[in-house]
């Protein structure tokens, strides 16, 4: 018979207590991690929409500033949507509160200035979008969003290459819309547009190659439909830039037509981001 000394009883009591508490600690940890993941997902989705809105606002405002008033109504609508998006950033549960506030303040200044200088308009939008992209990458890398699961291992490509390809496409949309609205282009503008053409082509190819390799290794891939739409949309944009904007000093191209052609490419690239966020949400919900 085991003699139960006070010390042994105390040790056994501690062991029993630990076994009882351990599941509760595990449950609390999982709950905290789910809440943390949900906060990151919410911020990423909000940044995706803010960046898309700012990119669209940049392109439309360039068209209007360069003499095409037909884009003014769509510009006003986009500005209103951005006001609502930025309003949703107030009171966010985030570790990056000062950076969110800086984005909101920059938007407020940009909106209030209503600059008539197209070059300054581009610079301000570029800076605001660049800071938004940097915040998106920081939010995306603050915790392991892949959750250690192979099916989510493609996510870093989404936050970097895909978002960057969408931004270069957005810059090409803004610059090309201004050129089309003016009906003229400078050598410097064509050099810049040639640079953007190369960046879009390279980053899209890199991202698509990696994502298709990941797709091939999966029985059913959640990005398959979105992937199938990216290539034709981006190719149409690149072909239009090459044939209608880079080969002449006086492009005969409707600004609205070009804007919407480029928007298709941007939207399809951002569609990959939407599909990835949806995949992350459904995967995280599984045990």
Position 271 scores a pLDDT of 96
> Residue 25: its pLDDT value, please?
46
**Is position 46 within any domain?**
yes
- Within a domain: 12: no
In a domain, 92, yes or no: yes
Mean pLDDT in residue range 204-216:
91
| Per-residue burial over 248-274, b = 16 or more CB atoms within 10 Å of its CB, e = otherwise | eeebebebbebbebbbbbbbbbbbbbb
Residue ranges of alpha helices (H) inside 95-223 are: 97-113, 118-141, 155-157, 163-182, 187-216
pLDDT category, 1, cuts 50, 70, 90?
Answer: low
Q: Determine, yes or no, domain membership for 111.
A: yes
Q: What is the residue range of 243's domain? A: 41-143+150-285
Q: What is the pLDDT of residues 85-143, one digit of tens each?
A: 999 988 888 889 899 999 999 999 998 876 678 899 999 999 999 999 999 999 999 88
Q: What percent of the chain has pLDDT over 90?
A: 70
Does residue 28 lie within any of the structural domains? no
Classify residue 29: in a domain, yes or no.
no
In-domain check, residue 35? no
d(CA 148, CA 38): 17
Domain count, the chain: 1
pTM of the predicted model over 0.85:
yes
Tokens of 241: 């830039």
Specify the length of the chain in residues: 287
Report the candidate in 189, 164, 166 with the shortest Cα–Cα distance to residue 241: 189
pLDDT for 17? 61
- The token pair at 168 is 């270069």
Q: Tens digit of pLDDT for each residue in 143-158?
A: 888 888 888 999 999 9
Give me the helix-helix angle, 72-87 and 6-65, nearest 10°: 160
Q: What is the pLDDT of residues 2-54, one digit of tens each?
A: 566 776 666 666 667 666 655 544 445 455 566 678 888 999 999 999 999 99
Asked, for residue 8, whether it belongs to a domain, the answer is no
């Amino acid at each position: 018979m085991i003699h139960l000394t006070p010390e042994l009883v105390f040790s056994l009591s501690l062991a029993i207590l630990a076994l009882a508490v351990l599941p509760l600690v595990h449950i609390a940890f999982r709950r905290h991690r789910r809440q943390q993941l949900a906060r990151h997902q919410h911020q990423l989705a909000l940044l995706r929409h803010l960046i898309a809105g700012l990119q669209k606002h940049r392109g439309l405002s360039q068209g209007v500033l360069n003499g095409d008033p037909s884009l003014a109504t769509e510009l006003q609508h986009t500005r209103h949507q951005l006001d609502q998006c930025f309003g949703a950033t107030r009171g966010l549960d985030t570790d990056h509160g000062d950076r969110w506030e800086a984005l909101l303040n920059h938007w407020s200044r940009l909106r209030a200035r209503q600059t008539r200088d197209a070059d300054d308009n581009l610079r301000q939008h570029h800076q605001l979008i660049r800071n938004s992209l940097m915040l998106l990458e920081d939010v995306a890398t603050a915790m392991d969003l892949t959750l250690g699961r192979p099916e989510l291992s493609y996510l870093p490509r989404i936050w970097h290459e895909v978002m960057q390809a969408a931004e270069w496409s957005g810059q090409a949309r803004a610059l090309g819309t201004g050129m089309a609205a003016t009906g003229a282009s400078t050598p410097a503008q064509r050099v810049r547009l040639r640079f953007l053409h190369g960046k879009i082509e390279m980053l899209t190819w890199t991202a698509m190659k990696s994502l298709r390799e990941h797709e091939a290794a999966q029985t059913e891939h959640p990005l398959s439909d979105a992937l199938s739409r990216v290539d034709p949309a981006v190719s149409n944009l690149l072909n239009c830039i090459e044939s209608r904007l880079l080969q002449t000093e006086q492009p005969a191209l409707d600004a609205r037509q070009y804007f919407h052609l480029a928007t298709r490419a941007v939207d399809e690239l951002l569609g990959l981001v939407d599909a990835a966020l949806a995949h992350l949400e459904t995967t995280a919900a599984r045990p």
